[in-house]
Amino acid sequence: SDYQQLGYNLRVNLFQGGPLKSRSLMKDSYTPDVFQKAVIDPRHWHGRTINEIGRWYEKYFLDVNVQKAMKEKYG
């Protein structure tokens, strides 16, 4: 029956799950010295400083709030 077949699969451990060692394309593409030379600077993220990103978000949310207010006032 289906129940016995499911029990067999669970006993045999056909559903083993994910691999124990994960691999990534980035780590496979570069040599280890690239990661050793890399300097992580939290203030400089993808060519932009956090201050620039913060200012952009402030302007963006100010614009969104102004649009909401205009829509509420004028429809």
Q: Using one digit for the tens of pLDDT, what is the confidence trace for 27-74?
A: 777 777 877 777 777 776 666 666 777 888 889 999 999 999 999 999
CA distance 59 to 51: 12
Work out the pLDDT band at 25, boundaries 50, 70, 90.
confident
pLDDT category, 26, cuts 50, 70, 90?
Answer: confident
Give me the number of domains the chain comprises. 1
Domain housing 35: 1-15+22-74
Residue with tokens 């010295």: 33
Residue 66 has what pLDDT? 94
Distances (CA, A) of 41 to 31, 37, 51, 74: 21, 13, 13, 46
Contact 53, 45 (CB under 8 A): yes
Coil vs helix vs strand at 18: coil
